Amino acid sequence: RWLPGGLPRQGLDVSQAGMYNLLITDIHGCIASDSLHVSQHLLPLVFAGNDTTIMAGAELQLQHASTTDTTHVEWTSQGSGYYNNNSVAETWYSPSYSDISTGTIELTLNATNQCGTVNDKLILTIQQDTDGITVFPNPTQGIVTFVCTQGRSIQSASITTQAGTVIQSNIPVNGSVFQYDLSMYPPGTFLFHLLTGTITVTKIINKL
């Protein structure tokens, strides 16, 4: 018989933590006993971090994320970027070009133990230029990247100096991302003229 609360010759359904004793009587009336301690495990506690904003081209450091009572951790994302390590709470997330174009991504931290899985989410916002093309890094020492937002696409690009000297003209792009390496040029200011449909967007880039 299980005590407390049990009936002779029947098992006992346990719904609370505590100590439970099993009494056994043989045909001669001799009694033996043993005990079992039942502990209650709680669902994990998880905190992904506060909603935040970063500059285009930057990585999000997730140093404030935390979990307790957890046997397994996994980060997931609605975006297409990548985590340095998605199986630890404190990691970093690198947004993709698609993430930068979208501007807002939901990151989710999932924490699991034997009782189930709990998650917490944060909203990552990436700063975008208001003219429909976000550029980074600026200033730059070498490669500069242009990412279209607002559904735009770059047909071609032309590059001039601040004095008007043409560096290159009508570079075919036909896409939403354009990269150019300025490392072979001396420091200065360069103007990138990006044709998007019938509109030309000019971006001023400083080369260090």
Q: List, for residues 35-92, the tens digit of each pLDDT value.
A: 999 888 889 999 999 999 999 999 999 999 999 999 999 999 999 999 999 999 999 9
What is d(CA 117, CA 192) in angstroms, rounded to the nearest whole number? 49
From the CA atom positions of the chain, what is the Rg in Å? 30
Please, are residues 34 and 22 in contact by the beta-carbon 8 Å criterion?
Answer: yes
Handedness of CA 131, 137, 143, 147 (dihedral sign): negative
The pLDDT > 90 percentage for the chain reads 88
Please, are residues 62 and 90 in contact by the beta-carbon 8 Å criterion?
Answer: yes
> In the prediction, which pLDDT does 39 show?
85
* pTM: predicted TM-score of the whole model, two decimal places: 0.80
Identify whether 172 is preceded by a cis peptide bond (ω within 30 of 0).
Answer: no
> In the prediction, which pLDDT does 203 show?
98
- Using the 8-state DSSP alphabet, how is residue 132 labeled? S
Measure the CA dihedral 67/70/72/77, to 10°: -30
> In the prediction, which pLDDT does 5 show?
87
